[in-house]
Amino acid sequence: MGIVGWARWAWRLLTSMRTALILLFLMALASIPGSLLPQRGIVPEDVVAFYKENPTLAEVFDRLWLFDVFAAPWFAAIYLLLFTSLTGCVLPRLRKHLAEIRRKPPAAPRNLNRLPHHGSYRTDVEGEQALAAAQTLLRKRRYRVVAGPGWVAAEKGYLRETGNLFFHFALLGLLFAIGAGALYGYRANVIVTEDEGFANTVAVYDKYTPGSLATEESLHPFSFQLDDFNATYVLQGDRRGQALDFVARLRVQDRPGAPERTFDLRVNEPLETGGAQVYLLGHGYAPTFRVVDGEGKVAFDGPVPFLPAEQATFTSEGVLKVPDAKPAQLGALGLFLPTTVPVGEGFGSAFPGMINPTVNLFAYHGDLGLRKGPQSVYQLDTDEMTLAAKTEKPLNVGETLTLPEGRGSITFTGVREWISLQIAYDPGRLPALIASSVAVLSLVLSLTVRRRRVWVRLSDGNLEVGGLLKTEGSADGFAGEFGDIVTSLRGVVQPVKE
């Protein structure tokens, strides 16, 4: 066997149904670790936690791409092989089916009474007339009909194979749509506080994951202003505190110079602007502070987004950093309670909504460590700082924590809310939708339509009718249809009265 022989053998092996089945199973098996282990693309923080708990194991897993299963080369290998196998299987079938569609139904076999479905009766109608009547009847039933000397052949149900082929091509289309979306799309996350604006540029994103062929010019130039955010909760009963509705009121400008429009952004109602979508993913509180430094100047005045530490009560944690404070930089760890109630010795939050907001502060002075490099806005590096003061009891809005030795003061001036948003652009969305709709419709066709043939033959004044179901499965349905055909044929060609 030469190279061509080997290649042909390999191609035949790859495109065989058995290989396709094995590849299908491999794909299912390969997906399982992706659901059991944390995935970097979905929960990166859990991957970090896994690394901390089992450093050696994590190292091994990572080398096997087990934290990125769906981007792993071995996963890609499986689905590319599967789709190659599929193409190799479907293309020859397409050629064959196209030929079959153009071909006429095969001539009637000699002995129709050997077929699984068979009927026969005497007729005294002129032979040709009877056959013509049979043709009309079968055509009316949307059979493809061809006639020969003394026989009529009819076939129906080509849509089965058509549907099957469409289904498989739709899957190929879906793969391309997903691929194109991943290459040319982008996804970004950002936090916006009430009364703040947002303009769609990379600089303002907290996180930006562009497709490998997406450029900064792909960003849609929209902007909006967040006027108000409102969360509604169940107030009483078993489900007290469960969220009922979130709504963010936006004033949107679809592109620079376009007229402003208002939009109520909700969880299941994303903002569509240009080709991009903006989704409401989460929300939280941003207490506002005014910080006066040791020289008596206002060194900070504004909101600080706190992260919810507890979803049920929205007890939130955050960090205030005042690099401009003099003589020393100031920082504070904060604990925000939207609905403050006494709990044991201290205080806690009893409800996620804001009924009695307070904040606890641990204020530090010294060096924030910003020169050492980038740091998270939600963490305070206290290596070069010392605790200056802490709140004895939670501060109400308007109350001030004064730092000793004239280092300044921090006033809790109010609370705003923030929302976290995802901005997504995926050019493969619509093609994927079309491909998957075609897939479902054609799947139904390929599973429900059945290919069947009916023949009528005239011999010695007997009209013989034979039927053959070409697809496997129950013949019950066809038996009924065949019976109907025979019955109406009898009605049309007027049998002999005996």
Alpha-helix residue ranges (DSSP H) falling in 37-158 = 44-53, 55-63, 73-102, 127-140
Site string for other proteins, 183-202 (x = CB under 8 A): ----x---------------
Q: Is 371 helix (H, G, I), strand (E, B) or coil?
A: helix
Q: Is residue 281 near other proteins by the rule CB under 8 A?
A: yes
Query: Looking at 115-123, 215-223, 248-256, 452-460, which segment touches other proteins (CB under 8 A)?
Result: 115-123
For other proteins, the closer CB: 36 or 258: 36
Do β-strands 385-390 and 358-366 pair in parallel, antiparallel, or remain unpaired?
A: antiparallel
Give the C-alpha separation, 35 to 92, whole Å: 36
Measured over the CA atoms of residue 354, residue 357, residue 362 and residue 367, the dihedral's sign is positive
Give the C-alpha separation, 72 to 76, whole Å: 6
Chain centroid offset of residue 289 CA: 40
Residues 69-98 that bind other proteins (CB under 8 A): 69-70
Site string for other proteins, 414-433 (x = CB under 8 A): --------x-x-x--x--xx
For other proteins, the closer CB: 331 or 467: 467
Q: Is residue 114 near other proteins by the rule CB under 8 A?
A: no
- Which residue in the set 226, 439, 454, 458 belongs to the binding site for other proteins (CB under 8 A)? 439
Distances in Å between the Cα of 247 and the Cα atoms of 57, 222, 231, 280, 486 are 44, 20, 7, 9, 65
Quick one: which H or E segment has residue 220? none
DSSP code at position 260: P
Measured over the CA atoms of residue 334, residue 338, residue 343 and residue 346, the dihedral's sign is positive
- Which residue in the set 279, 309, 414, 488 belongs to the binding site for other proteins (CB under 8 A)? 279
Q: Is residue 447 near other proteins by the rule CB under 8 A?
A: yes
Q: Is residue 270 near other proteins by the rule CB under 8 A?
A: yes
Quick one: which H or E segment has residue 216? none
Structure tokens at 315: 């007890």
Q: Is residue 486 near other proteins by the rule CB under 8 A?
A: yes
- Which residue in the set 48, 80, 234, 355 belongs to the binding site for other proteins (CB under 8 A)? 234
Site string for other proteins, 42-61 (x = CB under 8 A): x-------------------
Cβ proximity of 350 and 341 under 8 Å: yes
Binding site for other proteins (CB under 8 A): 17-18, 20-21, 24-25, 27-28, 31-32, 34-36, 39, 41-42, 69-70, 116-121, 178, 187, 232, 234-235, 237-239, 242-246, 266-270, 277, 279, 281, 422, 424, 426, 429, 432-433, 436-437, 439-440, 443-444, 447-448, 467, 472-476, 479, 482-483, 486-487
